[in-house]
């Protein structure tokens, strides 16, 4: 009777219900709804704030099922974006499993798992396997994996919002489609932080993108976070991005907190902010630093220090963004504007993992535009408005990799595989012709000459099924698979070089930075000033140094302002009633702008032109994000060149683009014309480093060239082929090649924000407000202060080389 | 017209394509053609574009037309591997045969291809003495005689205004000149790499032919290997 009663109320078996009761807990509504969805055999997406017991909610139905019917065999696969997260969940899952007294084996399988254990897992699988998309993709490439996977009941995708819009998401979606074919009864479960558009994620998770097949379970909202904007003496600086001016005030806040995370937007800024804070750290509080360039060991050490309570604050980048509960964080500080409300909310969620207590975040705006952006983010968080995620079609390079993986497991039928691939949401729109072209690319490179038919990697059996032509290719695939392509880097090694393993690895810097260091140079890394003592192949040997260091610059890492916050910033310009709550100098800045020029409207493009020091400036307030503005700057200068206006340079920020020239722009509208924009852009992109970078990525993911494996660097023999050289040859001879088109679509969506730029050009035609001024306007000051600090884009390499030669010649002249 | 430099008393003209024109000998020198590198990778399952030999050869023919050279000295590693000549597609094969028949053509043997190119015509030597200069594939450190060689694929990286620009270069010391790799798929080794430093044996300059100019960059001595 008691059993019946409990099961009706909670849907949970007695041992689990008793466990909750013994801990003095009641299962939460969304946890029970997840169990109910499982009982009904439905896929499910759980959207809940941090601290809502999401992980347990995901696993509860598995535990219930295995409690009711204990059995061997792989039951549930859990996929996490981070290796470390899988380790963390193992801890959080093992505790309830042990306390409930369930006989369930839980194991991890990641890139760090030794190969003998992986083999053992395929022979005698645990009931619950914790893994990453990369390891899952590798798992399904083994011929014996189907036996292990055939009985899988549930796959749980944690932090689904971190996957769905990326190539890792493409890879995972393809792996899920394969898993579903192997285990047709498998249920898909997604766990997500709060997201703007759950239905889009339901569609992403579902087989055949059928959102209706996925039950949506929503957790109760947590307490609203408290978001504060740091203002000192009623002033905000004119320029800057990182809030470094406020280091002293930030330090005082850190002293008052138990454990704080100081989030910054790039790795280079992390180093600078760390140094600034240290300079103000009178009490010598233990402060750590955490970013993606540090070695794994260094990061794990900091994480451990954090959860053991040995740190009081940590300066971190997005590498700490995902939901790991490392310690009792009670304060989050965001240095510089957050760029998006979802990101701010997620970072804020790091403070205080108990959902019924408010988490506390402080934004430190870097300049006045960023102050408005911070205010906009504060409003958005208060109103629960989140950023929309940009879903995009799956990458052809990832598909090529998947096809090799499938062939490595067993021969496949092209019709069946095509249908299976299309059941993955990112590939729902894949045409058969493109699928066939991808097979042809995998088989022989996809060249018009068919020169490599005799070396083909895929061969057709008599029954028409495709198989790998040589077992060696499966090994090659496993060594090179994955969708994360790192920039070429050099290792920072502490201590004496020479013999193998001589020093301790600190982490990596990008090769273009490392390559310009000389012995005796100092640079900031891992929060310390390091001095270069020598080089050996890919290794830079360092010791502790002093003096005025350089800071490594990292390509990318800056995320553009979200459209949602951009609209809100425009709203603040047009809401004078809000100005009173702003610091006095921001208020005054806006008021004088209104007097002297115009304020940007809700839906227009304000363009100011004025002269200063013999240069003619044009400033356009597009609010389309830095990527779109920088592309626009390129486009404008190109068109001004053609119009004989003699442009000298441009700079783009998240809010505006400024162009300057020797002759004045009198009629800006034609410069912003959307006509032939695509062609001009194509010409420029083809010659730019963007497309080359994108090509390198698709060439590695698509299996055209090998990843640089550790140890290859030093041989000095040219083992790998530079993707740039291949790119040049392909463009000349095979302009329609599959990988070139893949690189194009990547570059367009990721690097230049074409859609936002297109919308901006249309806006310029429909609603441009041009103001001619006799001098610089208040709103234009921040971007003009950036002039000269940005690298000059567009200048031809040849011209720069010749200039470098001339500079050297001048410096060396003896007269 | 391109700019010349003086090396061991000879007037030599580095070309933008990576070749070296020696007007007094009516000769064009090229190093590390690495013909059929694409198909060498294809055999191992990496399908690089199959156009590298045709591209490399087209550049070579352009350089011959530009300079009017009647002699061609290839400084080794002309094929990416010994099986390369057999894989060479018909059209570049015919073109190459025509060239070796109509010009004074010398293949220096390399570590990749040895004498494999011999089947395509032309003479084959391990090293050659032309005028005052010795031609070989890999520089012999400490050898006193002025020498032209290849093997190392030198390239130079120039940092300017936040950009890093990398170009193939001619690495030149008092008695050694190392030519850049000529092949379409040949990468390079930075000219300040210790391996090249040891081969050059002394202070050196990196020359880059850019359009009709000859740019020169000091080879930094700072990047020495750690003790």
Q: Are B37 and B52 in contact (CB under 8 A)?
A: yes
Q: Do residue B193 and residue A716 have CB atoms under 8 angstroms apart?
A: yes
User: B87-90: long-range contacts (C-beta < 8 A, 24 or more apart)?
Assistant: B87/B36, B87/B39, B87/B40, B88/B35, B88/B36, B88/B53, B88/B120, B89/A449, B89/A451, B89/B50, B89/B53, B89/B54
Q: Do residue B213 and residue A802 have CB atoms under 8 angstroms apart?
A: yes
Please give the pLDDT value at position B27: 97
User: CB of A732 within 8 Å of any CB in chain B?
Assistant: yes
Would the pLDDT of A518 be above 80?
no
Chain B window 196-215: which residues touch A at a Cβ cutoff of 8 Å? 208, 210-211, 213, 215
pLDDT digits (tens, 9 = 90+) for A6-37: 555 667 898 999 999 998 888 899 999 999 99
pLDDT band at B21 (very low <50, low <70, confident <90, very high): very high
User: CB of A662 within 8 Å of any CB in chain B?
Assistant: no
pLDDT digits (tens, 9 = 90+) for A433-490: 999 999 999 999 999 878 898 889 999 999 999 999 999 999 989 988 888 877 677 7
Using a CB-CB cut-off of 8 Å, the residues of chain A touching B207 are none
Please give the pLDDT value at position A719: 47
Would the pLDDT of A174 be above 60?
yes
Q: What is the mean pLDDT of residues A289-318?
A: 83
Torsion of CA A64, A67, A70, A75, to 10 degrees: 30
Q: Which residues contact B173 (CB under 8 A, 6 or more apart)?
A: B200, B201, B202, B203, B204
Would the pLDDT of A137 be above 70?
yes
Tell me whether the CATH fold assigned to A2-218 matches the one assigned to A226-382. yes
User: CB of A514 within 8 Å of any CB in chain B?
Assistant: no
Of residues A452, A497, A729, nearest to B42 (C-beta): A452
Higher pLDDT: A39 or A798? It is A39
Element (H, E) at A468: strand A466-468
> The tokens of A549 are what?
């260091």
Q: Which of B17, B48, B49, B186 to mutate to test binding with chain A, by most A CBs within 10 Å of its CB?
A: B49
User: CB of A794 within 8 Å of any CB in chain B?
Assistant: no
What whole-number distance in Å separates Cα of residue A598 and Cα of residue A576?
13
Distance from the B113 Cα atom to the nearest Cα atom in chain A, whole angstroms:
14
Q: Where are the beta strands (DSSP E) in A213-282?
A: 214-218, 226-229, 260-263
Please give the pLDDT value at position A805: 67
pLDDT digits (tens, 9 = 90+) for A642-662: 898 888 888 888 999 999 888
Q: Do residue B226 and residue A534 have CB atoms under 8 angstroms apart?
A: yes
Distance from the B149 Cα atom to the nearest Cα atom in chain A, whole angstroms:
16
Q: Which domains does chain B have, with CATH numbers?
A: 5-218 (3.60.21)
> The tokens of B89 are what?
């597609």
pLDDT digits (tens, 9 = 90+) for B155-182: 998 877 656 788 999 999 999 999 999 9
What whole-number distance in Å separates Cα of residue A228 and Cα of residue A233?
15
The third-level CATH classification (topology) of the domain covering A2-218 is Rossmann fold (3.40.50)
Using a CB-CB cut-off of 8 Å, the residues of chain A touching B110 are none
Please give the pLDDT value at position A206: 96
Please give the pLDDT value at position B97: 96
Please give the pLDDT value at position A789: 45
In B, minimum Cα distance to A808 occurs at: B217
Of residues B43, B49, B216, nearest to A734 (C-beta): B49
pLDDT digits (tens, 9 = 90+) for B31-65: 999 999 999 999 988 999 999 999 999 999 999 99
CATH class of A226-382: alpha beta
Question: Of the given ranges (A12-26, A345-359, A377-391, A733-747), which has the lowest mean pLDDT?
Answer: A345-359
Q: Is A40 exposed, middle or buried (0-12, 13-18, 19+ CB in 10 A)?
A: exposed
Would the pLDDT of A327 be above 70?
no
Chains A, B: CB pairs < 8 Å: 153
Distance from the B145 Cα atom to the nearest Cα atom in chain A, whole angstroms:
26
Mean pLDDT of chain B: 91
Would the pLDDT of B151 be above 70?
yes
Would the pLDDT of A791 be above 90?
no
Angle ∠(A695,A697,A701) on CA atoms, nearest 5: 120
User: CB of B221 within 8 Å of any CB in chain A?
Assistant: no
Please give the pLDDT value at position A325: 58
User: CB of B90 within 8 Å of any CB in chain A?
Assistant: no
> What's the N-to-C CA distance of chain B in angstroms?
46
Using a CB-CB cut-off of 8 Å, the residues of chain B touching A716 are 189, 193, 195
pLDDT band at A787 (very low <50, low <70, confident <90, very high): low
Would the pLDDT of A612 be above 50?
yes
Please give the pLDDT value at position A213: 96
Q: What is the mean pLDDT of residues A409-414?
A: 96
Would the pLDDT of B25 be above 80?
yes
Give the largest CA-CA distance in chain B.
Answer: 52
Please give the pLDDT value at position A5: 47
> What's the N-to-C CA distance of chain A in angstroms?
105
Would the pLDDT of A538 be above 90?
no
Domain ranges of chain A: 2-218, 226-382, 396-480, 489-544, 597-815
Share of chain B above pLDDT 70, in %: 95
Please give the pLDDT value at position A709: 56
Q: How far is CA A689 from the centre of its chain?
A: 20
Write the DSSP string, A588-635.
HHHHHHHHHS----SS-EEEEEEEETTEEEEEEE--S-HHHHHHHHHH
Using a CB-CB cut-off of 8 Å, the residues of chain B touching A535 are 223-226
pLDDT digits (tens, 9 = 90+) for A544-588: 887 667 666 554 456 788 899 999 999 999 999 999 999 998 999
Please give the pLDDT value at position A256: 94
Q: How far is CA A41 from the centre of its chain?
A: 33
pLDDT digits (tens, 9 = 90+) for A711-747: 444 444 444 578 888 998 998 899 999 999 999 888 8
Chain A window 669-688: which residues touch B at a Cβ cutoff of 8 Å? none
Q: Are A515 and B155 in contact (CB under 8 A)?
A: no
Q: What is the mean pLDDT of residues A67-79?
A: 94
In A, minimum Cα distance to B227 occurs at: A498
The arrangement of strands across the sheet holding A260-263 comes to A226-229, A360-364, A331-335, A260-263, A313-316, A287-290
In A, minimum Cα distance to B220 occurs at: A518
Q: Which of B14, B44, B47, B221 to mutate to test binding with chain A, by most A CBs within 10 Å of its CB?
A: B47
Tally the residues of chain A. 815
What whole-number distance in Å separates Cα of residue A408 and Cα of residue A146?
12
Using a CB-CB cut-off of 8 Å, the residues of chain A touching B49 are 445, 447, 726, 729-730, 733-734, 737
In A, minimum Cα distance to B183 occurs at: A725
Chain A window 567-596: which residues touch B at a Cβ cutoff of 8 Å? none
What whole-number distance in Å separates Cα of residue A426 and Cα of residue A320?
27
pLDDT band at A322 (very low <50, low <70, confident <90, very high): low
Mean pLDDT of chain A: 85
What whole-number distance in Å separates Cα of residue B7 and Cα of residue B25?
14
Would the pLDDT of A292 be above 90?
no
> The tokens of A766 are what?
């429909």
Chain B window 102-141: which residues touch A at a Cβ cutoff of 8 Å? none
Please give the pLDDT value at position A715: 40
């Amino acid at each position: 009777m008691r059993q019946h009663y409990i099961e009706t109320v909670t849907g949970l078996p007695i041992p689990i219900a008793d466990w909750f009761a013994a801990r003095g807990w009641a299962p939460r509504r969304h946890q029970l709804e997840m169990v109910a969805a499982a009982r009904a055999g439905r896929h499910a997406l759980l959207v809940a704030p941090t601290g809502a017991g999401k992980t347990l909610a995901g696993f509860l139905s598995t535990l219930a099922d295995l409690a009711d019917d204990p059995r061997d065999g792989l039951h549930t696969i859990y996929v996490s974006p981070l290796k470390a997260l899988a380790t963390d969940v193992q801890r959080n899952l093992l505790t309830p499993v042990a306390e409930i007294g369930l006989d369930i084996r839980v194991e991890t399988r990641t890139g760090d798992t030794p190969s003998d254990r992986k083999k053992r897992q395929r022979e005698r699988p645990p009931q619950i396997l914790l893994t990453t998309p990369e390891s899952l993709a590798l798992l399904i490439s083994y011929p014996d994996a189907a036996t292990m996977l055939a009985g899988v009941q549930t796959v749980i995708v944690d932090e689904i919002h971190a996957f769905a819009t990326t190539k890792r998401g493409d890879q995972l979606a393809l792996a899920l489609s394969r898993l579903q074919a192997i285990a047709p009864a498998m249920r898909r479960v997604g766990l997500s932080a709060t997201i703007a558009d759950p239905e889009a994620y339901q569609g992403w998770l579902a087989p055949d993108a059928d959102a209706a097949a996925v039950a949506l379970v929503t957790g109760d909202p947590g307490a609203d976070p408290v978001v504060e904007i740091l203002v000192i003496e009623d002033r905000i600086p004119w320029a800057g991005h990182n809030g470094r001016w406020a280091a002293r005030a930030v330090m005082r806040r850190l002293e008052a907190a138990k454990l704080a995370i100081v989030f910054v937007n790039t790795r280079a800024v992390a180093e600078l902010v760390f140094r600034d804070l240290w300079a103000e750290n009178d009490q010598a509080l233990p402060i750590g630093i955490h970013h993606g360039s540090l070695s794994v060991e260094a990061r794990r050490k900091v994480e451990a220090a954090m959860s053991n309570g040995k740190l009081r604050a940590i300066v971190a980048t997005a590498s700490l963004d995902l939901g790991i509960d490392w310690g009792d964080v009670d304060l989050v500080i965001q240095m510089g504007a957050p760029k998006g409300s979802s990101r701010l909310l997620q970072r804020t969620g790091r403070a205080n993992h108990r959902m019924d207590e408010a988490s506390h975040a402080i934004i430190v705006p870097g300049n006045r535009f960023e102050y408005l952006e911070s205010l906009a983010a504060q409003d958005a968080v208060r109103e629960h408005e989140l950023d929309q995620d940009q879903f995009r079609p799956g990458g052809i390079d990832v598909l090529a990799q998947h096809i090799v993986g499938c062939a490595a497991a067993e021969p496949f039928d092209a019709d069946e595989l095509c249908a299976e691939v299309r059941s993955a949401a990112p590939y729902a729109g894949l045409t058969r012709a493109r699928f066939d072209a991808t097979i042809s690319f995998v088989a022989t490179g996809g060249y018009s000459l068919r020169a490599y038919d005799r070396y083909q990697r895929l061969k057709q059996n008599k029954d028409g099924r495709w198989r790998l032509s040589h077992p060696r290719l499966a090994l090659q695939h496993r060594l090179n698979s994955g969708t994360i392509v790192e920039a070429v880097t050099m290792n920072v090694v502490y201590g004496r070089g020479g013999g193998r393993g001589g020093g301790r690895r600190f982490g990596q810097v990008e090769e273009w930075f490392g390559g310009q260091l000389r012995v005796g140079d100092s640079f900031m890394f891992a929060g310390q000033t390091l001095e270069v003592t020598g080089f050996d192949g890919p290794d830079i040997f360092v010791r502790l140094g002093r003096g005025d260091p350089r800071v490594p610059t990292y390509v990318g890492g800056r995320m553009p302002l979200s459209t949602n916050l951009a609209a809100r910033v425009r709203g603040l310009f047009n809401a004078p009633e809000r100005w009173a709550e702003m610091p006095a100098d921001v208020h005054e800045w806006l008021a004088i702008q209104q007097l002297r020029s115009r304020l940007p409207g809700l839906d227009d493009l304000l363009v100011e032109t004025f002269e200063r020091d013999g240069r003619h400036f044009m400033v356009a307030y597009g609010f389309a994000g830095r990527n779109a503005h920088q592309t626009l700057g390129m486009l404008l200068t190109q068109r001004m060149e053609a119009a004989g206006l003699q442009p000298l340079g441009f700079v783009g920020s998240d809010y505006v683009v400024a162009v300057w020239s020797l002759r004045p722009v009198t009629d800006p509208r034609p410069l912003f014309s959307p006509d032939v924009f695509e062609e001009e852009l194509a010409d420029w992109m083809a010659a730019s480093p963007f497309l080359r970078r994108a090509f390198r990525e698709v060439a590695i993911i698509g299996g055209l060239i090998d990843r640089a494996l550790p140890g290859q660097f030093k041989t000095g023999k040219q083992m790998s082929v530079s993707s740039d050289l291949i790119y040049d040859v392909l463009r000349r001879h095979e302009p329609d090649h599959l990988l070139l088109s893949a690189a194009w679509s990547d570059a367009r969506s990721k690097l230049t924000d074409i859609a936002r730029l297109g919308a901006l050009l249309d806006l310029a035609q429909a609603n441009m407000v041009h103001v001619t001024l006799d001098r610089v306007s208040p709103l234009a000051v921040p971007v003009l202060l950036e002039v000269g600090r940005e690298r000059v884009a567009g200048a031809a390499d040849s011209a720069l080389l010749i200039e470098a030669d001339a500079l050297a010649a001048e410096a060396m002249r003896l007269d | 017209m391109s700019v010349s430099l003086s090396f061991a008393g000879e007037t030599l003209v580095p070309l933008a394509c990576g070749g070296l024109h020696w007007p007094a000998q009516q000769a064009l020198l090229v190093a590390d053609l690495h013909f059929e590198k694409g198909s060498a990778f294809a055999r191992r399952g990496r399908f690089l574009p199959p156009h590298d030999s045709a591209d490399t050869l087209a550049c070579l023919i352009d350089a011959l037309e530009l300079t009017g050279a009647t002699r061609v000295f290839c400084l080794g590693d002309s094929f990416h591997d010994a099986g390369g000549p057999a894989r060479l597609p018909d059209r570049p094969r015919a073109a190459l045969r025509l060239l070796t028949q109509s010009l004074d053509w010398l293949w220096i043997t390399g570590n990749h291809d040895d004498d494999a190119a011999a089947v395509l015509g032309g003479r084959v030597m391990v090293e050659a003495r032309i005028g005052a200069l010795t031609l070989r594939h890999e520089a012999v450190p400490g050898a006193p005689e002025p020498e032209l060689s290849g093997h190392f694929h030198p390239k130079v990286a120039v940092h300017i205004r936040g950009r890093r620009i990398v170009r193939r270069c001619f690495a030149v010391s008092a008695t050694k000149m190392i030519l850049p790799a000529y092949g379409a798929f040949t990468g390079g080794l930075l000219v300040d790499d210790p391996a090249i430093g040891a081969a050059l044996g002394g202070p050196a300059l990196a020359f880059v032919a850019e359009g009709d100019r000859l740019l020169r960059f000091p080879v930094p001595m700072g990047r020495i290997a750690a003790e």
